[in-house]
Amino acid sequence: MSKLKIAIQKKGRLHEDSIKLLSSCGISIDNGKDQLKVNISNFPLEILYLRNSDIPKYLEDGTVDIAIIGENVLIEQEPNITIVQRLGFSKCRVSLAVPKDVDFDSLNYFNDKEIATSYPNTLSKFLEENNIRAKIHKISGSVEIAPNIGLADGILDIVSTGSTLFKNGLKEVKQIMKSEAVLAKSNLLSLEKEELLDRFLFRLKAVLKAKNSKYILMNIENSKIEAITKILPVLKSPTILPLTEEGWSSLHSVIDENEFWEVIDELKIAGAEDILIVPINKMVN
């Protein structure tokens, strides 16, 4: 029987989140130290731990079938692959930064300057689109040090919190794109592996949907049920159970985490009491 080969980052910011996501999908991972290929016993899956920058090529030539990878890496390398699911973690931005004491007022600052980056293709396109003439220094890592050692006047790099820039005496001046972890697939999958991918995606989407939703319970007077159900976003319709106290019911539903506080305030105003919010482990439609 075929196995779906998935590549994840061998180490770094995506590694731990990728392992947690697979575990949430019921994938039992048991690998020894420094083991770079792991067969999964409870799902037709094989995990390959690879360097982040190598993953797009492995996807493109079909060596691996799917991968969890940063969107920014795919934009930089432009492989012939397909993004099948955005994962919502490892969010960052790709930004230009300059020394803190630089008086930066526009992108024209970079004209005839030198910029260090690990994303030369992304930077080159941005500069061209904005008619900026600058020299690009390609650096594999530790890009933030370039201005401090006189190698460059600014950098283009990924930024999460900005603390690394601050520690190196830099400030963010222009965000050129946002990025997050995505699930990407090779365009060379067989029909059998496409079916395996569908099974894997079923689990993955159930986990992601649950992560972004909350189960909500509240007590309400029966006379207020209609008004409250109009406020409450629901899957189809809320569950309503009678309480032992006459004239009262318990209403159960699901809300999107992004609407959490706005919905709660409205429900309280409309008369909801004893509101409970419960995390959801899995959510299957």
Q: How many residues does the chain have?
A: 285
Tokens of 185: 């697939």
- Helices (H), ranges, the chain: 15-24, 55-60, 71-77, 120-129, 163-167, 191-211, 225-231, 260-270
All structural domains of the chain with their residue ranges: 4-89+180-210, 92-179, 213-279
Half-sphere exposure of 147 (CA within 13 A, CB side): 22
Q: What is the per-residue pLDDT across 107-156, written as a single tens digit (0 to 9) for each?
A: 999 999 999 999 999 999 999 999 999 999 999 888 999 999 999 999 99
- Residue given tokens 């061998």 in the structure block: 10
CATH 3.40.190.10 fits 4-89+180-210, yes or no: yes
Q: What is the per-residue pLDDT across 211-225, written as a single tens digit (0 to 9) for each?
A: 888 888 999 999 999
Domains 92-179 and 213-279 share a fold: no
CATH topology of domain 213-279: Alpha-Beta Plaits (3.30.70)
Instruction: Write down the pTM of the prediction.
Output: 0.83
Strand partners, 241: 250
CATH topology of domain 92-179: D-Maltodextrin-Binding Protein; domain 2 (3.40.190)
Q: What is the per-residue pLDDT across 163-211, written as a single tens digit (0 to 9) for each?
A: 999 999 999 999 999 999 999 999 999 999 999 999 999 999 999 988 8
